[in-house]
Amino acid sequence: MIVYVENRDGNTNVKTDLPELLTRCIKLLKNNQIYIKRTRMDAGSYYEDVIEVVRKNCKFFHIRANRSEAIRRQISQITD
């Protein structure tokens, strides 16, 4: 079920105003008593401002990070 659509120029970078777009979407959903439990986003959403908006408004979320050697090393050091 589609609950929100926002038209953007086809040449717009995926990160352009994304935190503001998400904030507008979440506010509209909450005003209609729709709450987000889970969200999943691609690597274009993997940056601090977006993560903060999602963290505050979703119980569970998955944002795919771009693959990099630095991230692989950090993940391999997780023990718990």
Domain boundaries, the chain: 18-76
- Its pTM surpasses 0.85: no
DSSP 35: -
Is a pLDDT exceeding 90 seen at residue 52? yes
User: What pLDDT score does 72 carry?
Assistant: 84
Q: 77 and 71 in contact (C-beta within 8 Å)? A: no
pLDDT over 90 at 33, yes or no: yes
Per-residue pLDDT, averaged over 49-74, amounts to 90
The pLDDT score that the predictor gives to residue 27 is 96
pLDDT at 14: 81
Strand ranges, E, within the chain: 38-41, 60-63
Give the DSSP H or E segment for 74.
Answer: helix 69-76
State the DSSP code for 71. H
Quote the percentage of the chain above a pLDDT of 90: 54
φ and ψ of 39, to 5 deg: -140, 150
